[in-house]
Amino acid sequence: MSKEAQKEKSMILQKEMVSSLFNDLAHAKELGKKVCYTFIPGNLSELIQTFDMLPVYPEINALQSAMRKKSSAYIKEAERHAHSEDVCTYVKCDVGMMMKGNIGPTGQKIPEPDVLLLSYTGCFTFLKWFETLKREYPNAKVIMVHTPYQENGEITSEMTEYMVKQFKEVVIPEMEKVTGIKFDESKLKRHLTLAAEAEDWITKIFDSTKHKPSPIDAYFAGVYYIGPINIGFRGTQKAVDYYKELYKEIQERIDKGLGPITPEGEMKEEKYRLVVEGPPNWTHFREFWKIFYDMGAVIVASSYTKVGGVYDLGWRHDPERPLEALAEYCMNCYTNMNIPQRIDLLKKCIVDYDADGYVTNSIKSCNSFSAGQLGMMREIEDSLEVPVGFIESDLVDPRYFSYSNIKNRLESYFQMLEQRKKMEAVPV
Amino acid sequence: MKKYYLGIDLGSTTSKAVIINENDEIIGRGITNTRANYKVAADIAKDEAIYDARFTLLTNKLKEEIESKPEFKKYMEDIRSIFQYRQFKRRMDSLEKKLKETVDNYNYENKGEIAVALNKIIETIRPQIRDEFVDENLGSKNQFFRDIVSQRYNAEVEKTNKTLFEPLMLAFDKSITPVENKMVQFNFKELVDESMKLLEDKYKGLVGEPEDGKKEDWYYAELNAVKNNYKNVETSLKEHIDSIAEENIHIANMVGTGYGRALLPFPEDCIKSEILCHAFGAHAVFPDTRTVLDIGGQDTKAIQVDSHGLVTSFHMNDRCAAGCGRYLGYIADEFGISLNELGPEAMKAEKETTICSTCTVFAGAEVKELLHNGEKRPNILAGLHKAIVQRAMSLIARSGGVRNEFTFTGGVSRNQAVLKYVKQMVTDSYGDVTMNIHSDSIFMGALGGAMFARRNIEVVLPSKKKRPVLKHA
């Protein structure tokens, strides 16, 4: 098989997975499956699977709408219904999509929720988002778990117990009621085993950026790679197969000394290696990416690809402690870590992947990410003496993406890196 | 052959050019207003910098004389102003022609009346401007062709019959743009010769010191010296003028920067970000600079530099006009005064009126409301100036605060009121730090560009060790 064909295999797999999920969703009633709306950070994918439910991720729908250039109309629709200009644009995009018939990325209708499962409360907007959805879908059951923030940079046994208690007393009984299925711990354990396996593979994949040139872009391509593990397949054999295949393809690139693939083909020369903090802009994703690859900049690590779980430091879903594992997972997502923990994680990325610079994309819509970003940047700049850059855009509202301003800042930033590189090249 | 290096900073409001020699010394500066045709703006700034460079070379050759004899000093000042007048005159001639053409093509019923009024205006302002150049050193005031003419033209239009107001203003608007966008070639030697003739007339006609002399004594001392000795100056000057006029100001390399940089006809590696250039320029002038604040026409930048003048981080405000030069321009329009008058007017304030609006446009409405409520103009202006500086301060804080010496650059740093609040607020927040403001601060970006050009972009820099290795658990 040619290299090109192999390269496509993981993409084909992913496409099949996504379309089968949306197909199942469109036929949820016929399939007799209940539908659970939930969010990526702290998603209880394996528990949802244990109860044979189908997951819907509103923020994924929102970013998909943005990439298909539909978010602007959805946001306007939501604003017409009195959602203020300052409301998170993921929310407005989702609400607007719902108002316009709730047609998902595959063109099929997304069913109404049976359950609104809020398993991560670190983002206050999530609470309000589901309050809004509850008004629209009065028959949906709201299940809310309170996730303690890692205020002191650790997960204590009390915190885990507190969450496990909520699972036992609220989440599991409510899910049993909605689905009519009795909780089967051994089934959950099987899913957790598969989850841990996928987590091992994705860790290896994102660790491949250690190579020079880096075989992947851990941000712009990374957002595709995290698809299966984040949107409901973590805990399934399908996810394991996908990541095995992807890893194989990446390994081939490493063997051949190839750089990452961009929409305009393979990146020829890796000039700068960067770590990026913050979500990408989705409305101008391609343009945004192009500014980087045109300059020979590859992203070797990003915090955004860790929103659905931080696996770098060795944590895995442990099937032997099923509910404790779920609890730890929820508390361990990137935005639930305190600022010093995030700084340490990012510093580790910069050092491990030998990055030349650190760039923050500050998102107007997202407080979970934006809070503390400047301080983190200062701390990283001071302790590692790494050149830092700061740009601003938004998730899915095209009105907040100014191409020329972003390009101007990034151009200046790359010239700054260039100077720095030249200085470092001079022998002591 | 001596090598020179050119930096061009194509800003949103003004275009600047700087020529340096091989020792990074500025030998020529040129500035003009940025217009629709960026290339013309850049070329005009460049030509001006080259003329300026020739005068610098001339001045250097006559250094001894200028230092020891007042007539040389005075003569050199005067000739520069007159030289500018000769350039001005060429443009004015073509503007006059264009104005008359425009009115000729009018379909107004009172076309004849308009033409008469136009002629009268031209005949009034032409000698007026000439006198200001020749006798009052208008050339040294850094005003652009458009500003000089429009100020006087508008004043004269005000005096005419109200029915003529619109067609006359329209004629100006229609004529100034094509004239501004047309490149005029000058011959340095020709212009200098013309200027010397004009100066001769001026000095010949000079009478003695008036009884009620309001000027300082040194002014008359210089004038008298030049009146009696200008022939000597002319002779010495003539010796050098030919060689200077013919000297090839060989631009060995150039770098373009500023918002319009992508439109400059330069090779890609000769285009540099204005952030890097401003920092490099400011650092060259003040080597201990670690923080640079640049307030330009359309954005504000807070830049941190290292000991080599290289940028380590920067923060920009490019979302909102309320914090940059354009805000002041808008406010000046609201008050119906010129940009240059804003600072001095604000300095007269007894207190600063609080301006709540963070938006340029809404601040305009707030200003009207305040005036209506009887608030004094200087106080409002002081409040507005303070508001701009407050926004700049938040940008500085975001970029990491003031570290060691602080240098303030950009067009807005010429405004005394802004300067006052910057000094005040930087001291309040960061204690007693050295603050640098240079008379050339508007040229810092172009200077940085020229310096990069001299280094042939391939910056040869002292070694810097790789960042410390981090140990993590």
Predicted confidence (pLDDT) at residue B22 exceeds the cutoff of 70: yes
Q: Which residues of A touch B311 (CB under 8 A)?
A: 387, 412, 416, 419
- Please check whether residue A314 touches B, CB under 8 A: no
> What pLDDT, on a 0 to 100 scale, did the predictor assign at position A7?
52
Owner of token pair 């009268």: B120
A421 has a chain B CB within 8 A of its CB: no
Measured CA to CA, the distance from residue A308 to residue A313 in angstroms comes to 14
User: How close is the nearest chain B Cα to the Cα of A378, in Å?
Assistant: 7
* Nearest-by-Cβ selection for B465 from A405, A409, A428: A428
A384·B276 Cβ contact <8 A: no
Q: pLDDT at position A75, please?
A: 95
Instruction: Give the span between the Cα atoms of A35 and A221, in whole angstroms.
Output: 29
Model confidence pLDDT, tens digit, residues B135-165:
877 877 777 888 889 989 999 999 998 889 9
pLDDT tens digits, B332-367: 888 888 888 899 999 999 999 988 766 777 778 888
Sequence-ordered list of residues with C-beta below 8 angstroms from that of B366, at least 6 positions apart, any chain:
B355, B356, B357
| CA dist., res. B203 & res. B201, Å (int) | 6
Q: Do A215 and A115 fall into the same domain?
A: no
Beta bridge partners of A275: A301, A358
**Residue B358 tokens, joined:** 């963070």
Count CB atoms within 10 A of the CB of residue B47.
Answer: 20
DSSP string, B392-440: HHHHHHHHT---SEEEEESGGGG-HHHHHHHHHHHHHHH-S--EEE-TT
Q: From CA A162, how far away is CA B193, in angstroms rounded?
A: 92
Tell me what pLDDT residue A3 has.
44
B300-305 and B311-317 strand pairing = antiparallel
pLDDT score of A232: 94
**Total CB pairs under 8 A between chain A and B:** 86
d(CA B436, CA A356) in angstroms, rounded, equals 32
DSSP A12-51: HHHHHHHHHHHHHHHTHHHHT--EEE--STT--HHHHHHT
Report yes or no: A46 and A235 within 8 Å, Cβ to Cβ. Answer: yes
Indicate if A49 and A65 belong to the same structural domain: yes
Q: Would you tell me how many other CB atoms lie within 10 Å of the CB of residue A266?
A: 13
In the structure encoding, which two tokens stand for residue B330, read together? 């808008």
Sheet containing strand A357-363, edge to edge, reads: A297-302, A272-277, A357-363, A388-393
Residue A153 contacts B where some CB pair is shorter than 8 Å: no
Together in a domain, A282 and A176: no
B227 has a pLDDT exceeding 80:
no
Tell me: do A195 and A162 sit in the same domain: no
Q: Is residue A403 less than 8 Å (CB to CB) from chain B? A: no
Interface test with B, best of A341, A379, A408 (most B CBs within 10 A): A408
**Do A160 and A215 belong together in one domain?**
no
- pLDDT under 50: residue ranges of chain A: 1-6, 428
From the list B273, B313, B318, the residue facing A415 with the nearest CB is B273
Same domain, A199 and A168: no
Range with top average pLDDT, A138-152, B225-239, B316-330 = A138-152
Chain B CB contacts of A416 below 8 Å: 273, 275-276, 310-312, 314
Cβ-nearest to B316 among A384, A409, A424: A409
In angstroms, what separates the C-alpha of A295 from chain B's closest C-alpha?
A: 13
CA distance to partner chain B, nearest, from residue A203 (Å): 18
Nearest CA in chain A to B397: A374
Q: How many domains does chain A have?
A: 2
Q: What is the mean pLDDT of residues B264-293?
A: 89
B312: closest CA among A370, A348, A289, A377?
A377
**Residue A11 is assigned to a structural domain of this protein:** no
Q: Residue A92 has which token pair?
A: 């407005």
- Phi, psi dihedral angles at A114 (to 5 degrees): -90, -30
Q: Which residue has the higher pLDDT, B14 or B462?
A: B14
Higher pLDDT, B461 or B102: B102
- Are the Cβ atoms of B467 and A385 closer than 8 angstroms? yes
A408/B464 Cβ within 8 A: no
Provide the pLDDT for residue B141: 72
Report how far residue B6's alpha carbon sits from residue B29's, in angstroms, rounded to the nearest whole number: 10
Asked whether the beta carbons of residue A423 and residue B461 sit closer than 8 angstroms, the reply is yes
Contact B13, B33 (CB under 8 A): yes
Q: Which residue has the tokens 């000089």?
A: B148
Q: Torsions phi, psi of A260, nearest 5?
A: -70, 160
Token digits for A305?
Answer: 């690809």
B274, with CB counted inside 10 A (0-12, 13-18, 19+), is: buried
Closest by Cβ to B466, choosing from A389, A411, A424? A424
| B458 contact residues in A (CB cutoff 8 A) | 422
Lowest mean pLDDT among A338-342, A394-398, B80-84, B378-382: B80-84
List of chain B residues whose C-beta atoms are within 8 Å of the C-beta of residue A411? 273
**Domain B274-454 top-level CATH class:** alpha beta
Q: Determine, yes or no, domain membership for A250.
A: no
Alpha-helix residue ranges (DSSP H) falling in A81-220: 89-99, 124-136, 157-166, 172-179, 185-207
Are A321 and A418 in the same domain? yes
Residues of A with Cβ-Cβ distance to B319 under 8 angstroms: 392, 402, 405
User: pLDDT value at position B334?
Assistant: 84
How far apart, in whole angstroms, are the C-alpha atoms of residue A61 and residue A71?
A: 10
Q: Which domain does A50 fall in, by range?
A: 27-184
CA dihedral A329, A334, A337, A343 (to 10 degrees): 140
ipTM: 0.76
Structural domain boundaries of chain B?
Answer: 274-454
pLDDT of residue B367: 87
What is the rounded CA–CA span in Å between residue B344 and residue B339? 10
Residue A277: in which H helix or E strand, if any? strand A272-277
Contact A423 B273 (CB under 8 A): no
Residue B462 φ then ψ, to 5°: -65, 155
For position B464, what pLDDT does the model report? 42
What is the predicted pLDDT for the residue at B211?
54
Same domain flag for A279 and A170: no
**A203 and A282 fall within a common domain:** yes
Residue B308: closest C-alpha in chain A: A423
Q: What is the CATH number of the domain that holds A55?
A: 3.40.50.11890
pLDDT for A426 equals: 58
Tokens of B175: 């004529």
CB-nearest to B273 from A381, A411, A422 is: A411
**Whether A306 and A180 share a structural domain:** no
CB-CB neighbors (< 8 A) of B316 in chain A: 405, 409
Residue B191 Cα, gap to closest chain A Cα (Å): 41
Interface probe for A, chosen from B272, B314, B451 (most Cβ of A below 10 Å), is B314
Question: Cβ–Cβ of A423/B308 closer than 8 Å?
Answer: yes
What pLDDT does B352 receive?
Answer: 92
Give the Cα separation of B411 and B423 in Å (integer). 16
Q: Among all chains, which residue has been given the structure tokens 């709540």? A: B356
Task: Give the CATH number of the domain where residue A298 resides.
Answer: 3.40.50.11900
Q: Report d(CA B294, CA B300) in Å as an integer.
A: 6
Instruction: With respect to residue A251, please indicate whether it lies within any of the assigned structural domains.
Output: no
Regarding whether A168 and A195 lie in a shared domain, the answer is no
Cβ neighbors of B466 (< 8 A, separation 6 or more) are A424
3-state secondary structure of B62: coil
CB B448 within 8 A of CB B279: yes
Q: CA B353 to CA B375: how far, in whole Å? A: 8
Orientation angle between helical segments B377-399 and B416-430, nearest 10 degrees = 50
Q: Do the beta carbons of residue B41 and residue B34 sit within 8 Å?
A: yes
User: Whole-angstrom Cα distance, residue A274 to residue A260?
Assistant: 13
B468: closest chain A residue by CA: A384
Q: Which of A386, A411, A412 to mutate to test the interface with B (most CBs of B within 10 A)?
A: A412
Question: Per residue in B185-226, pLDDT tens?
Answer: 888 888 888 888 888 888 877 655 555 555 666 666 677 777
Q: Which of B272, B313, B459 sits opposite A388 (nearest CB)?
A: B313
The partner residue sitting opposite A427, judged by closest CB among B400, B459, B463, is: B463
**Alpha carbons A304 and A362: distance in angstroms, whole number:** 12
Angle at A94 between CA A221 and CA A371, to 5 degrees: 65
* Residue at a domain's end among A155, A184, A213: A184
Q: In A, residues 347-366, which contact B (CB 8 Å cutoff)?
A: 347-348, 350-351
State whether B464 and A423 contact (CB < 8 Å). Answer: yes
Residues of B with CB under 8 A from a CB of A: 259, 272-276, 308, 310-316, 318-319, 398, 400, 458-470, 472
* A403 located within any domain: yes
Residue A367 and residue B294 in contact, taking contact as beta carbons nearer than 8 Å = no
Residue B103 has pLDDT above 60, yes or no: yes
Smallest Cβ distance to B310: which of A409, A420, A427?
A: A420
Chain A contact set for B463 (CB, 8 A): 423, 426-428
Write the secondary structure of B90-155 as one string of H (helix), E (strand) and C (coil): HHHHHHHHHHHHHHHCCCCCCHHHHHHHHHHHHHHHHHHHHHHHHHHCHHHHCCCHHHHHHHHHHH
**B294 in Cβ contact with B283 (< 8 Å):** no
Check A415 against B272: CB less than 8 A apart: yes
Q: Is residue A135 part of a domain?
A: yes
A305, A226 Cβ separation under 8 angstroms: yes
B274 interaction partners in chain A (CB closer than 8 Å): 412
Give domain status of residue A99, yes or no: yes
Residue B176 and residue A306: Cα distance in Å, rounded?
58
pLDDT at residue A428 in the model = 47
Of A24, A104, A10, residue with least CA distance to A62 = A104
Residues A285 and A400 in one domain: yes
First to last CA, chain B: 61
B461: chain A residues, CB-CB within 8 Å: 419, 422-423, 426
Please name the member of B275, B313, B459 whose beta carbon is closest to the beta carbon of A387.
B313
DSSP H or E segment with residue B7: strand B4-10
Residue A334 lies in a domain: yes
Instruction: Report how far apart the first and last C-alpha atoms of chain A are (Å, whole number).
Output: 49
Compute the distance between CA of residue B46 and CA of residue B273 in angstroms, rounded to an integer.
19
Best of A391, A401, A419, A420 to disrupt the B interface (most B CBs within 10 Å) is A419
